[in-house]
Amino acid sequence: MLRTLIGTDLWIEQTESQAFNLDTILLASFAKIPYRTKQILDIGTGVGGLMLYLSQKTNAKITGIEIQANRYEQALKNIQINHLETQLSCVLSDVRALKYKDVDYIITNPPFFKVDEDSHLSMTKEDLIARHEINLTLEELIKTSASFLKNGGYIALIHRPDRFEEIARLMEKYDMVMKRIRFVHPYSHKKANHILVEAMKKGKPGLIIEPPMILYHDKHIMTKELIDLYGGKKDVTIST
């Protein structure tokens, strides 16, 4: 299925099982790419939606890393559809097998669930890998990212608030200093269901807790901030 990339003039092709969700848009919006950034890695790029969004924010070279062959192949196709071959590329690999050094910025929308958590036998293998830490645990992700980044380089990720304590502990363990966090709430009276985190390798202390993002005023009634993320559209249907 070929469709416009929500909020942009770009195009994305994907199957129903490969479709990116609101997480991708939230993370792309949260990311602040420093002006002098030359190299960005998108770990677990899927079909490349996050890379496409970032191409609208920076001229840096962006490399997607994907372990699933069908998603990797679709990401390559999406790069070609949008004629972004000079800026975007993709690697088919387990990220733990790669050796990068002095990367400026890493962005990632990792699997949210541990292997023994919220597991559904009815899921396809593709969905299980995308949603559960089958091939890459949270600690492996942060450890590997820290080894790739230059001192002063950044990582930005989206995750579940109930794993924030674990994220904070692992960031400290691997010499990553959290610089910004933002909680995302479905409604103003509901608890957060996403957290956005930015950290710097060997950074100086100084954490900014950004104002919470509220997605909906009421059922099907989006806040202005969410409408703006969707490029002014109020009738967007996307998984949250």
Q: Write the CATH number for 194.
A: 3.40.50.150
Report yes or no on 87 lying in a domain: yes
Closest C-alpha among 151, 213, 223 to residue 185? 213
Our count of domains for the chain comes to 1
In angstroms, rounded to a whole number, what is the distance separating the alpha carbons of residues 202 and 6?
35
- Say if 190 falls within a structural domain: yes
Domain assignment of residue 235, yes or no: no
Q: What is the mean pLDDT of the chain?
A: 89
DSSP-assigned letter for residue 60: S
pLDDT 10s digits, 1-44: 888 899 899 999 988 765 668 999 999 999 999 999 999 999 99
Residues near 14 by beta carbon (within 8 Å), at least 6 away in sequence: 1, 3, 20, 47, 49, 74, 78
The answer to the question of residue 234 being in a domain is no
Q: How does pLDDT run across 63-104, given as a tens digit for each residue?
A: 999 999 999 999 999 999 999 999 999 999 999 999 999 999
Interior angle at CA 69, CA 68 and CA 75, nearest 5: 95
Residue with tokens 């958590």: 117
Domain that holds residue 38: 2-229
What is the per-residue pLDDT across 99-140, written as a single tens digit (0 to 9) for each?
999 999 999 999 855 666 555 544 555 554 455 456 789 999
Q: Is residue 238 in a domain?
A: no
Statement: residue 204 has pLDDT above 70? yes
Q: What is the pLDDT of residue 21?
A: 80
DSSP letters along 24-47, please? HHHHHHH----TT--EEEEET-TT
Query: Nearest-CA neighbor of 239 among 5, 25, 14, 13?
Result: 25
